[in-house]
Structure 1
Amino acid sequence: MQTRFIFLLFVLMITPGLLATNYYISAEGNDNNDGLTESTPWQTLAKVSEAGANDKNGGFIQPGDQILFRSGDTFEGQLVINRSGTHDNPIVISKYGDGELPILSGSGDIPSGDFIEAVKLVNTSHIVMDGIWIKNDRKYQGDITWGTNSSYGIKVIANKWGGISKDLTFRNLKITDVFGYDMIDWEGKFTLDYYNAKGIFFDSDKNDDTVMPVKEVRFEDVLIEDCYFYNLGSTAISARNLNPPNNPVSEEGRNCNFVIRNNTFEQLGGDGVVFASVCNGLVENNEFIDLGWGDHTSSTDRYYGRGEGCWIWDSHNIIVQYNRQYRARGFGDTYGAAGHIDFFCKNSIFQYNYSEDTEGGFVEILGDCENSTFRYNVSVNDGHRANGHHRYSIWLSGWVGKDITPVPSDENYIHNNTVYLDDPKCKPDISIFAEDTYIYNNIFYAMNGAQIGSGGVEIEMQNGGELKVSNNLFYGNIATAFSNLDTRKVSGDPLFSMPVSSNGSYDNFDIQSTSAAIDKGLSFPEPTFPMAGQGIFADVQLVPSKDVFGNAIDIENLIPNIGASNAHNSGDQVGIEDLKQVSDLFSIYPNPVRNLLNVNLSEIGKQLSYEVYSIQGQLVTAGYLKAGLNILKLNLPGNAKNGIYFIRMANADVFQTERFVLYR
């Protein structure tokens, strides 16, 4: 018997979560109860916070435990969790019973005043929040005399006492009605700091360099899905890291692996998603409706009044795709394709998005970015800001901060988008201050009083960079200063399936069989995305095989259509004049190779992309050789098996492929 008892005790010790406990909370409960059954629930958020405190402060929630609030009940106060689950046994915060989601509100009839955060997660890992409604409309200041213009539904904190906070899931949440105590814009303060009312805010402190080795502080592996954000004073989801920006290493000093998908964002004073210093982010299949909500002419307005779907800053490896954005407004930024690329970004792709009635315009890329791509998007009546301020169909700027010398972005790709304007309010311009920039295969349509470039076409290529404009279709009132940049421009009606100018969708902008856009595009090597097929991008292809309508595409090897739709394409092979294969671009040695492959360019030129594939066609590694260099020392991954491989190097004009043997 004693042996069996010892064995059972051993099993319990090595199997966290085997004796996981459910804790129940009801508005009719009592904090003196044990909370272990539906008939003996706790009552308050304060009681749950006691259980969720760290060991030092007497908390006792364990991995695998569930904190369950009764459906239909409202709980006012603040929920604080300072404990962690494990990967296999997360701590779950959810609901029990039928009816409307339980409400956790940081504001209401609270004697000490409304809280800044309704829910605060501090140095937590392996947490799941599922099926909760969060509110925080702060109207009673009480004892809290600081942060009066701040309010958060959920604030997630990572600091030096916790280090890396990971594996956080937020699912099936409602987050609504979040406002600061004194958010009325009576002084006309148009600053992001002034409006700090956010749905979920991930706030990571900088790394702790007071110890050796340096202790890293950040968030890793965050998933937000199937949530509803409504009526917020500012931004719905915001993530930042306070390490110094513009570190060339992707992971260093950044939050990692954020996935935001299948959410609805509606009537927000600010943006849907803001990534500040994030490495690896995927924002997909979200709907953004009425962002930048607010009226600054009103003395009672509590909304920030500037917003768009997703904008990124100092972030690497970001894909924003398959999102829909309607009626985004704002006095600055506020761009289509579901957002824009702010400065210090690298490897960013906005693709397959639909935007409509966006005040600023279509494409915005700010300074010191590298490898930025907008492709296969549909933009409808974007670019009607009344005062003409920052109102562009294409805006590439060198802006990297106030009173700082502009820095151009390099390797900008804008291809196979459909830009449709039929509202006389829409008069966006073109402004490009950049290095190498490629504008290929886009439809620019401006009819019924709409115009593109009538207010100016400004081109300032920097540091010897090239602007290549080719195989675009121009239809309607488009400035010749823009269309004449294209030596292979196409004219004619694109013949969309059923264009509409409000509450539309991608399907309205498929093309008919006699469209002037069919088989008129330019084939070229598409920009690389080094994380394709890996991690959170496991389902992302390096080279897209379908357009947003489901039509097959192979833009590197077949002549494509112009615009976002490849319907009715004949599938003709690429001609010599479209893509030139050469044999004198580079040489490699040694061959066979063990670990380090040396690549020598025949001459120093502009930046080249490189890709290494196995003989089965699997991507092994990819990246860039910067302009001005002619030697690449390529370390092959340690997990690559012996065999035959191919290295391909390319720019927008030529490519070369060489075979080598890996033998270790």
Structure 2
Amino acid sequence: MRVRSSFISFICMLLVAISGIRCRAEQQSPASSNPVAYYIDSRGGNDGNRGTSAAEAWQSLKNIKQGLLHPGDSIRFKRGAAFTGPLYIYDSGTGDNPIVLTDYGEASEPAPSFTNPVFALNNYGNCVRVKGSFVIVENLYLHHTAAYVRGSYTPSSGWDTTVWEMGAVYIDKEAENCIVRNNEFNDCVVGVKSYGRNAVIRNNYIHDCNRVLKEWGWGPIGIWLGNDYQEASYNRIFNYSAVDPRIEWGPDGVGGGADGGAFEIDDARYDKSHISIHHNYTRDCQGFLEITWTDIKQHPVYKSFDIHHNISDDYQQFIAMWQGAECNIENNTIVRRKKNVNDWGVFNITGTNTRNRIRNNLIITELDIQIYNTGLRTSTNPQNIIENNLYYAASGNLVMGKEGPGTAPVFADPLLVKYSGADKPEDFALRTGSPAANKGLPGLFNIDFFNKPVKGMPDIGAIESGE
């Protein structure tokens, strides 16, 4: 009898507890069936308004505070409006109901603009700083963010991690499953900086920054990744390069006089894997990708990056990999016809026994630019797996370097649609009869630069000819 009474009491207590948990859960995560849209208009709004309609828009960012947003909510910035950051987003959406930062208004008006000219403690030139998960940032114009110049901020002691806080859009390590898409970044010393796992940075236009992000050891970076499980795809990044004799970093002056680039992976505090950089078009940047690590921690585990179906017409390297192994570098179209104070070759992979797979890439050089370089570290033996690449010197000599050409190389003019003056992706397509057609190996990725399915044997390069 006592057992039965105890059992009944236990069931009652359990039901009460479940009810309490359910009640608290409902209080903490309001139903997303009635999402709220907040409107902000810097020209015609008023911060005393409700903010929940275009007619009752707020004027500034000050009403956006922690706890305001719930899954499915959005913040809509009026086209033609202008704001100065940083805007902090602390709250999280869900997979089905993300929080969205977007635009509203007349399509003929310019996208809502954001800038931040201040670099100081807890204000690192960010326009939007995301700390919540499942947040989408889209359709904004971000411009002219502050650089870390001497005198703007002084760290207390030790290694200065301040540079890792920069980014016109910054995604915190706690912020997972965020998306940054369809934005324009103009003269931002760092376009997007992301530590958030499962972040997707897609279809952004990032252009024209020739300033150092930090005096005098760091050039501008379009997209900067500091953690694993991230994707950067379908972006256009143009003219990210700083050339100045005061720039100096790296051993033996390897980084003297110029720095910057389209993409960078670094911050050795976190091991990294499963980063995908694909279907991007870059031009006039100080390198396509640099993977580096020499900072707080030595020799982190960097592996399993996928770099494929990109078009790179830049200065300096396609990939400078100071650390990294077992990466797939496939079906890229790489043109190196420009040279300034730095020349690292096309592939500057300085690890030993890295076993990176380099295949199906179309590589055109001029000015005797070396293809497989190992920098000044002559003892390096990367042992990359090099297969089915096309090599062509449009002028000067074809300089293979320490590795290569690998198995089944093709040495021929690839017959691009347009080479001299090429300035758009379709110029790098193959003409009929190209020696690159059907000469690749079956790859891991079966959609070309223009999302055309690869049928049969793939072509060499980023764009399928259809032959």
* TM-score, normalised via structure 2 length: 0.69
| Counterparts in 2 of 1:492 and 1:238: CA distance versus 1, 3 Å | same
Write out aligned runs for 1:567-578 (5 A).
Answer: 567-569=465-467
User: What residue is the counterpart of 1:328 in the other structure?
Assistant: 240
User: What residue is the counterpart of 2:439 in the other structure?
Assistant: 520
**1:247-277 Cα shifts (integer Å, max 9, x gaps):** xxxxxxx5321212111111112x221122x
User: What residue is the counterpart of 1:274 in the other structure?
Assistant: 193
How many positions carry a matched residue from both structures?
395
User: What residue is the counterpart of 1:564 in the other structure?
Assistant: 462
One-letter identity of the residue aligned with 1:291: C
Whole-angstrom CA distance in 1 between matches of 2:406 and 2:39: 66
One-letter identity of the residue aligned with 1:321: S
| Counterparts in 2 of 1:491 and 1:120: CA distance versus 1, 3 Å | closer
Name structure 2 gaps, 5 residues minimum.
1-26, 104-111, 250-254, 294-299
One-letter identity of the residue aligned with 2:301: D
Structure with larger Rg: 1
| Counterparts in 2 of 1:508 and 1:19: CA distance versus 1, 3 Å | closer
1:474 maps onto 2:391 in alignment: yes
Whole-angstrom CA distance in 2 between matches of 1:279 and 1:79: 28
- Residue of 196, 201, 215 corresponding to 1:283: 201
User: What residue is the counterpart of 1:412 in the other structure?
Assistant: 327
SS at 1:325 equivalent? strand
Shift of 1:362: 4.8
| Counterparts in 2 of 1:265 and 1:304: CA distance versus 1, 3 Å | farther
* TM-score, normalised via structure 1 length: 0.50
1:312 maps onto 2:225 in alignment: yes
One-letter identity of the residue aligned with 2:219: R
Flag the structure with higher strand content.
1
- Residue of 153, 157, 168 corresponding to 2:135: 168
One-letter identity of the residue aligned with 2:66: N
Whole-angstrom CA distance in 2 between matches of 1:315 and 1:510: 32
Task: Give the aligned CA root-mean-square deviation in angstroms.
Answer: 4.3
Shift of 1:514: 2.5
User: What residue is the counterpart of 1:397 in the other structure?
Assistant: 322
User: What residue is the counterpart of 2:127 in the other structure?
Assistant: 153
**1:335-369 Cα shifts (integer Å, max 9, x gaps):** 76x41333522112211111111213556466522
User: What residue is the counterpart of 1:499 in the other structure?
Assistant: 419
Shift of 1:104: 4.2
Is the CA contact (8 Å cut-off) linking 2:86 and 2:126 kept in structure 1? yes
1:428 maps onto 2:344 in alignment: yes
- Residue of 58, 77, 94 corresponding to 2:76: 94
Whole-angstrom CA distance in 2 between matches of 1:352 and 1:431: 22
| Counterparts in 2 of 1:155 and 1:84: CA distance versus 1, 3 Å | same
- Structure with greater contact order relative to length (CA < 8 Å, sep ≥ 6): 2
Percent of residue pairs bearing the same amino acid type: 18
Is the CA contact (8 Å cut-off) linking 1:81 and 1:124 kept in structure 2? no
SS at 2:305 equivalent? strand
One-letter identity of the residue aligned with 2:351: F
Shift of 1:510: 0.6
One-letter identity of the residue aligned with 1:341: I
1:380 maps onto 2:362 in alignment: no
Is the CA contact (8 Å cut-off) linking 2:41 and 2:77 kept in structure 1? no
| Counterparts in 2 of 1:458 and 1:380: CA distance versus 1, 3 Å | farther
SS at 1:433 equivalent? coil
Is the CA contact (8 Å cut-off) linking 1:24 and 1:68 kept in structure 2? yes
1:340 maps onto 2:260 in alignment: no
One-letter identity of the residue aligned with 2:305: S
User: What residue is the counterpart of 1:547 in the other structure?
Assistant: 448
Write out aligned runs for 1:1-80 (5 A).
Answer: 43-44=46-47, 66=52, 75=60, 78-80=62-64
SS at 2:427 equivalent? helix
Shift of 1:372: 1.0
Whole-angstrom CA distance in 1 between matches of 2:462 and 2:369: 20
Whole-angstrom CA distance in 2 between matches of 1:518 and 1:23: 52
| Counterparts in 2 of 1:171 and 1:490: CA distance versus 1, 3 Å | closer
| Counterparts in 2 of 1:360 and 1:189: CA distance versus 1, 3 Å | farther
| Counterparts in 2 of 1:381 and 1:20: CA distance versus 1, 3 Å | closer
SS at 1:469 equivalent? strand
Shift of 1:567: 0.7
